Structure 1
């Protein structure tokens, strides 16, 4: 069972140069992803009046996030595994594929990357506000279920295409598959809660804009969804080994 493989890790592991390099890779990839995704929404809002809330704005956001995540995962894959998302890291931890201490390093790097991206966006656009995630026409419980289901699909895709040792040549399309599921889910949930699926993506804009309304939804939902995906895929589909999360051969 995956629960038997969950490990805290050691201080030596967490401070090893390879772990620090992996955390730096997560920081850079998350910065690139949030800068492009969040920046595309700011650009649409600047060019149009309320364009970000129109069908065209939703499609543009889905495309921008899909493309940016494809790149962000690809450039970090051989260094850190290309998580770019605390929910992916949590799913990997629950499945026994990364230690807790290394996972915490990833979380810190991802949250910092998102925050720096939003600060850079605010500075480079002359002080334009970064958009924060908010609910629209749904309750917090509706949004919670949305985030759970969407993040489950995302982390399940990560496991199937990047973590599963039987993935074979499927690993070559892992970054684009991961980007596609995020883009598709934005088309589903973007109009209702912004379709975060990623606590870091929500955290940076919330911190920079200091807008924390219903922010807990964007942590609890993705972590539940990611954890469930990790457990289900590990228990049912993976032949268990004691290997760490592979630095996938994309």
Structure 2
């Protein structure tokens, strides 16, 4: 089982120059992603005078998040692996491909990047950042399962195109594939629970707006989905002959 290959690492690793550079890359990539993703929602609300959500708005959110994540992953890939998501980091950790201490460093950077992006949006637009929440008629357990399934698809895509040492030429399209699956999942789940799939993108706006309603769903769901994807892919599809990737993918 991949869980037996989990690596804790050492505290020194979290202060190593290469780890700090990777954390800075995660901070910048997450800032880019959240600024564009959340910013598209703020822009839509301004253009519609806070009108009701429409199919066109959902498509716009899907495109904005898909494009922004493609860029965020691409610019961070050669430095940190381009996780841009605590659920991705957790899934990679559970699979034994990143140490605990490095993963915690990534988490801190991702949460700070999301918070910085939300503060910048508040300052530059003067409008509140939207927080994730459940649509009318959607229960907490339905939303939780939705987040688990969507994040499973995301992290499974990350494993197949970026983590797997057999990925070959697929590695060059990893950012595109990752952006596409997030955009597609937003079209599925956006009308129900906002389709977060990422605790960081939910955390920054919630902190700035100080609105924590149902916030736990956007942590538990993605982390569970990411962990399942890491375990499934490592157990059934990654060859046991490859060496463990000690720091990142």
Question: Is TM more than 0.5 here?
Answer: yes
Mapped to 1, the partners of 2:111 and 2:181 lie a distance apart of: 22
Q: Cα deviations across residues 95-146 of structure 1 (Å, max 9, x unaligned)? A: 0000000000000000000000000000001x20100000003000000000
Q: Conserved in 2, the CA contact under 8 Å of 1:5 and 1:242?
A: no
Q: Secondary structure at the match of 1:53?
A: coil
- Unaligned regions of 5+ residues in structure 2, if any? none
1:243 offset after TM fit, Å?
2.6
1:13 offset after TM fit, Å?
1.4
Residue in 1 that maps onto 2:181: 181
Correspondence list, 1:136-175, <5 A: 136-137=135-136, 138-175=138-175
Mapped to 1, the partners of 2:243 and 2:12 lie a distance apart of: 19
1:53 offset after TM fit, Å?
1.3
Mapped to 2, the partners of 1:39 and 1:179 lie a distance apart of: 17
Q: Conserved in 1, the CA contact under 8 Å of 2:97 and 2:248?
A: no
Q: Conserved in 2, the CA contact under 8 Å of 1:79 and 1:247?
A: no
Superposed CA RMSD? 1.2
Residue in 2 that maps onto 1:129: 128
Residue in 1 that maps onto 2:227: 227
Q: Secondary structure at the match of 1:35?
A: helix
Q: Does 1:242 align with 2:243?
A: yes
Normalization by structure 2: what TM-score? Answer: 0.97
Q: Conserved in 2, the CA contact under 8 Å of 1:81 and 1:245?
A: no
1:11 offset after TM fit, Å?
1.5
Normalization by structure 1: what TM-score? Answer: 0.96
